Amino acid sequence: MTTETKRATIYMDPSLHKALKLKSMETSISISELVNEAIRISLSEDAADIAAYEDRIEEPLISYSDMVKKLKNDGSL
């Protein structure tokens, strides 16, 4: 963990907290490190989603009804 950290209070479901404590004990990784890693993973997934969206922003839009018609015409429905 970095030397400069911020303290935060979070409230979580008791069963999630218990599971997190058990994982911390079994892996010898602090709860803070586990939470930080989970947040990093979540934000990384968000960044990937944003990049994928931005890559496709120029694609033409298709309405739901047009898509259903296309699927029906293609024999998918």
Separation CA 29–CA 34 (nearest Å): 7
Q: What is the pLDDT of residue 62?
A: 93
What percent of the chain has a predicted confidence (pLDDT) above 70? Answer: 97
Residue 1: its pLDDT value, please? 52
How far is the first Cα of the chain from the last one, in angstroms, to the nearest whole number? 52
Which residue ranges make up each domain of the chain?
Answer: 14-73
| Predicted TM-score (pTM) of this structure | 0.69
Average pLDDT, the chain: 95
**Minimum mean pLDDT among 11-20, 23-32, 53-62: which range?**
53-62
Q: What is the pLDDT of residues 16-41, one digit of tens each?
A: 999 999 999 999 999 999 999 999 99
